Structure 1
Amino acid sequence: MKRLPPLPALHTFLITAQCCNFTRAGEQLHISQGAVSRQIAGLEDHLGYALFHRQARGLSLTEQGQALYPRIEQAFDLIDEAVEQASVRRTPLQIKAPTCMLRWLLPKLMQWQKLRPDVPVELTSSVEHGVDFRREAFDAAVIYSATPGPKRQGQHLLDEQLTPVCAPQLLEGSNAIKSLSDLKHHRLLHPSRDQRDWTNWLNAAGGDVSSICQNQYFDTLDLAMTVAAQGNGVAIGDWALIGDDLKAGRLALPFDLKVRTGAVYQLVCSPRSEDSTPLRELMAWLVKQAASTL
């Protein structure tokens, strides 16, 4: 491969070709007229042909100089663009999500970071199910809505589908869970004090939560499922969120019945960030991942 000319000399040629004057080129490059002249002469020696006609009234490009100039200009434009893109501060996208969503969302974001390390994401979890972009500086949020409607403009991710979950060992042995009546031998793990989720599922299954004597209450669905995975009871989980736990064998489903509650998980974007191309790409990717979950 032929040795390329020095980059500074090519830059000097570019500026001189734009000015057609050594003095003005020197002023733009903050070097002397003589330094410009010497760099051009050295470049011409390297190339083996003249780039400028030296005339009493100034400079003009030779035929070779005219052919070289637009290509050098294009090359420096590409260098400028590359440097600008590389020097842009990669500010992480700020995403908020309820804790119950972490079992699904966190693995997806870790996968995203492997695919797109140029678009970092910071995830904040909260026991709250909503977001107020007027007061919270998030770019986007996953919200849980028990009563979906037109008030919130967002992208649909997942429908809540309640189903009991437990550690795989609870499906074996003398106290194995094989029917609704077997639940009375185990502790029910509730994600809230109101027992609403278990009541909804048991009603659909033909059971009654009041027949269960052992109950334990938690502040979040995620915590209840974590305790269930340790073999300390049966939690009511959301089937759409626990795919990774089922594949890894941390959780198992004692029953096939899944009850849709009408609640949904939506992905919403802050008005401040809606023009962000990286955010739009991330949101579209998450929606696609959610579609493959169903």
Structure 2
Amino acid sequence: MTRGTHDALPDVRNENILIYINGDLVPRDQARISVFDSGYLVGDGVWEALRLHDGVFVFIEDHLDRLFQGAKTIALDIGMTREELHDALYQTIRANGMEDHVHARLMVTRGIKKTPSQDPRLTLSGPTIVIIAEHKVASPDTMQRGVRLLTSTIRRGSPDYLDPRLNCHSKLHEVMALVQALQAGADEALMLDIHGFVSTCNATNFFMVKRDEVWTSTGQYCMNGITRGKVITAGRQHGMGVREKNFSLTDVYDADEAFVTGTFGGLTPVTEVDGRTIGAGAPGPITQRLSGLYKQAIEQYVQASKLNQPLAH
């Protein structure tokens, strides 16, 4: 049975959620966008995934920074200010009566085209903005048992043709890497960079522990993960040796622990890579400590946000 870092407990409330589409809140079974939308036609858009914790979207400023940077990179005018997007996110969760354990996906595409084409000049409308907020709790079984990775033959791209740090709708290479891993019986894919060093996973960022040091990639060829950055900062602030460096699969196979990071799951242990058991094949002490520090950073952010109530609500 395969597992994954996005495994969530079933929640029947998600059947009746309202979805934000260009200012309107629409029942899930009625939510539609045009077949001529740029995102559907050519993957032309940017997106963010956020967690709602105790009524607060965690690290929302970082997520909006990344969204607007991505939009500027592809010359996409979002058509809304940061404050307006901030309000739209909270409008969506209020309409759904949501307070905690919520995963929201904010998606922005270039808009509706006159005809199927890559050419942005053929866009007829303003951008399409969609927010899907769902009740989601990470599967405790996955968090306890960890995930198994397979190293994909599909490499993370070079920044000169599609910067891996760009959180865009064009994710086919990552899908292909995941399919390769699933067909081999693993849960997710580990991906190397163009030089053969370990980069990232198909949907999360990879870390390993060796002799009490925490290693992750240089960041040049991996996703610009918000959770990745928070874990690095938290570890260093608490005196842990966290290194961003090049390392190979030879290092990974000899690791004492490994884990991946992402907005939804936080830190998820990795117990196996390419059929090799990592460490004791169970969540290790440093992974557990960093997970605790990350949760602590979330709590501190939530408390600080509540002191500035107008910003959070």
Larger Rg, first or second structure (1 or 2): 1
Question: Smaller-chain TM-score range?
Answer: under 0.3
TM-score, with length taken from structure 2: 0.22
The structure carrying a bigger helix percent of its residues is: 1
